[in-house]
Amino acid sequence: MTSLILIPLVAAAAPLLADLVGRVAKVPLVVFEIALGIMIGPGLLGWVEPSEFVGVLSNLGLAMLFFMAGNEINFGAIKGRPLKRSSIAWLISLAGGVVVGILLAPTVPAGVFIGVALASTALGTLLPVLRDANELSTPFGKAVTAIGTVGEFGPLLAISLFLSGHSLGSSVVVLAMFVAISGLAIWMTGRSENRTLLRLVNATLHSSGQFAVRLVLLIVALLVGLSLVFGLDMLLGAFAAGILWRVLISGAAPHDREVVEHKLDGVAFGFLVPVFFVYTGVTFDLDALLSDPKTLALVPIFLVLILVVRGLPNLLAVPVGSSSRDKRAIVLFGATGLPIIVAVTAIGLDRGILTSGTSTALVGAGMLSVLLFPMLALLERKKSVEAAAASEKTPR
């Protein structure tokens, strides 16, 4: 009962704190959700303990976060140079991350886990930030979206291929089967007009039927279930579900699409996603972090490595003619990572490959990246826009 009261209370308090602090400095909402989760969790006040029920809701929130990321990606807008350059940058990040991980870790498998975690970008965390800053449609925003897309989808593929516990050959076959089935569903959906479905969506927009929302939850359940049946990470299924839904709803009237998107925002960011981030704070092993000086020292080391390994290669993907401030902002945005880090470290812990200290330090570094990097990136981007506007007003 305490969890059922305090977690919604914290989720409701987080936007209020974000608005209050936002008058001084723009801090992403997720930072407050995680910080408040740590505060009420076992590490500090001890008011909320991890539980199976809230854990299930948290996993649903993580799935919806990746669904929304897949749903919001406009591949038409990022295809070409942004996507190609971002893909090259991610491959460099993955190679560098694995090399660094192997050098730091006691075993090669642990090094691979660390490398995949270091090479991730939190697209689901960045998209709301870009949307709130009205940057999604700008060249800058499209570059960051491409970087985040590859930085989130690439690690999901790496998890499925290298961290699934199967041999590489069987992992490739299983992944190919999943991609084929998901791709076939997306292709068939895009070829048909789906008139009956769109009519039901329109007819239940403002009724208790809410067919669109129910269908979304069904698609997420089916593709997440399919990924689990194949022994893949559930986040791959959730991401594919978002892409499938975007194709499915593309033929609807603009007003209907807008209303449905608002409803999905309500389900995801009003309910399930906050539970995931608050619960991430609740389950964060603060004692393991503070009781071991070596673990504590790893946090800033991992934070710097995330910036170098994941952030710097994204200079390849900056838009042509970008200012130095925009370049720094893109490096910072690209180095923002948490959900994939949480997923990778959880798998490593379950299999006994990663130690609790390493896992906690990685998650701590990911939390700091979410706290610091988007805020600093927005500041750099704001100054860049202001400088460009001032330059245009200056008489020549």
DSSP letter for 318, please.
Answer: S
Nearest to 358 by CA among 115, 170, 191: 115
Determine the Cα–Cα distance for residues 133 and 375; give it in Å rounded to an integer. Answer: 11
Range of the domain at 209: 52-272+291-383
For 354-365, what is the mean pLDDT? 88
Which band of pLDDT confidence, cut at 50, 70 and 90, is reported for residue 326?
very high
Considering the domain boundaries, does residue 14 fall inside one? no
Considering the domain boundaries, does residue 23 fall inside one? no
Nearest to 313 by CA among 115, 153, 89, 102: 89
For 350-374, what is the mean pLDDT? 88
Determine the Cα–Cα distance for residues 84 and 339; give it in Å rounded to an integer. Answer: 24
Instruction: Flag whether pLDDT at 186 surpasses 90.
Output: no
Instruction: Flag whether pLDDT at 127 surpasses 70.
Output: yes
| CATH number assigned to the domain comprising residue 158 | 1.20.1530.20
For 389-394, what is the mean pLDDT? 72
Considering the domain boundaries, does residue 362 fall inside one? yes
Q: What pLDDT, on a 0 to 100 scale, did the predictor assign at position 227?
A: 83
**Which residues contact residue 106 at a Cβ distance below 8 angstroms, ignoring those fewer than 6 apart?**
none
Q: How many CB atoms lie within 10 A of CB 395?
A: 3
Q: Which of 11-25, 168-182, 204-218, 247-261 has the lowest mean pLDDT?
A: 168-182
Considering the domain boundaries, does residue 104 fall inside one? yes
> Total structural domains in the chain?
1
The two most distant CA atoms of the chain are separated, in Å, by 67
Q: What pLDDT, on a 0 to 100 scale, did the predictor assign at position 115?
A: 93
Alpha helices, DSSP H only, in the chain?
2-22, 29-40, 52-72, 75-78, 81-104, 108-118, 123-132, 139-162, 168-191, 195-203, 211-229, 234-249, 254-267, 273-282, 286-291, 293-305, 324-334, 339-350, 356-393
Considering the domain boundaries, does residue 19 fall inside one? no
Considering the domain boundaries, does residue 21 fall inside one? no
Q: What pLDDT, on a 0 to 100 scale, did the predictor assign at position 29?
A: 81
For 31-48, what is the mean pLDDT? 89
Considering the domain boundaries, does residue 28 fall inside one? no
Considering the domain boundaries, does residue 99 fall inside one? yes
- Residues 77-107: pLDDT tens digits? 788 888 899 999 999 999 999 999 999 888 8
Determine the Cα–Cα distance for residues 80 and 103; give it in Å rounded to an integer. Answer: 35
